[in-house]
A = this chain, B = another copy of it.
């Protein structure tokens, strides 16, 4: 594995997925929050990955992942089985049933930060147990902008640890149902206030095909539209792709201002929309920066009133 110094790293799950949609069933796909997030970030900045895979992790997946230029120095290769997830989407292609989850080597995973990542300023704590997010964050020497993603499971079974990590990050991102679950509020503005009181300066509430909202502690609100997707193939990982490209963009520009956050939201919407046009990271593999910029301009045009 290469060991180049990066200014951005991400931790999360790495899995082998089976996904069933209305139209198609695919097995043994590269999945998990980390491949999606890092692949999305790779369009903007060098990015390092922190996670674990088992001895069954196909060499082809490593190659595919590295083809994005992602640094895998933080990926541990352990004896045992890689994390596996399988799910089936309902007719609306939004709701899904989880058919199987097997933790495998993920069960005994303790993330360790390579020396080459320690000085990095930009960090995405992708969706894994909050205890592990905390553990790895503590190894960072000079975090400047830390983004936290999570899911309903941790809100249910690991709330104290989750609240502790929320108190240490700059930006919390979750979807609307998770925001309601964590805050105990229904109204989206009340959700936002409650969640910002937990510590972060910024909050993003993701709404899938309906876009996303960014809230600041100063009361600023930014409304990001979703790109209208014609060819929705597989929504798995869309939230991770969104978070990854969002932070990748900010790493590239190197400043957090109202203007850069707004631009980052546009890029995140666009890269997430590209991602769902294929299974796994397949569609992202062919994407060029020119294609992203073109869609960013078009989306900006659509939403300028």
Contact = CB atoms under 8 A, between A and B. Distances in A.
Nearest to A207: B210
A263 B304 CA distance: 10
A302 B223 contact: yes
Contact of A305 (B92, B232, B266): B266
A224 interface: yes
A234 B299 CA distance: 32
A222 interface: yes
A189 B302 CA distance: 14
B228 A305 contact: no
A213 interface: yes
A304 B262 contact: yes
Interface in A183-238: 186-190, 207, 209-211, 213, 221-225, 228-230, 232
Given A207-B210, A210-B207, A211-B210, A223 B303 contact: yes
Contact of A304 (B92, B189, B304): B304
Oligomeric state, in copies: 2
A228 B210 contact: no
27 contacts: A93-B186, A187-B229, A187-B230, A187-B232, A188-B228, A189-B228, A189-B229, A190-B230, A207-B210, A210-B210, A210-B211, A211-B211, A213-B228, A221-B228, A222-B302, A222-B303, A222-B305, A223-B225, A223-B228, A223-B302, A224-B305, A263-B305, A265-B305, A266-B305, A300-B305, A303-B303, A304-B304
Interface residues of A, number: 32
Contacts of A304: 262, 304
Contacts of A262: 304-305
Given A188-B209, A190-B230, A213-B228, 5 more contacts: A91-B186, A189-B228, A189-B229, A223-B228, A223-B299
Contacts of A91: 186
A59 to B, nearest CB: 37
Nearest to A296: B305
Highest count of chain B CB atoms <10 Å: which of A93, A221, A224, A300: A221
Interface string A274-301: 0000000000000000000000000110
A302 B213 CA distance: 9
Nearest to A232: B187
A235 to B, nearest CB: 13
Nearest to A210: B210
A258 to B, nearest CB: 10
Contact of A302 (B209, B221, B299): B221
A230 B305 contact: no
Nearest to A208: B210
Contacts of A211: 210-211, 225
A140 to B, nearest CB: 29
A297 B229 CA distance: 29
A91 to B, nearest CB: 8
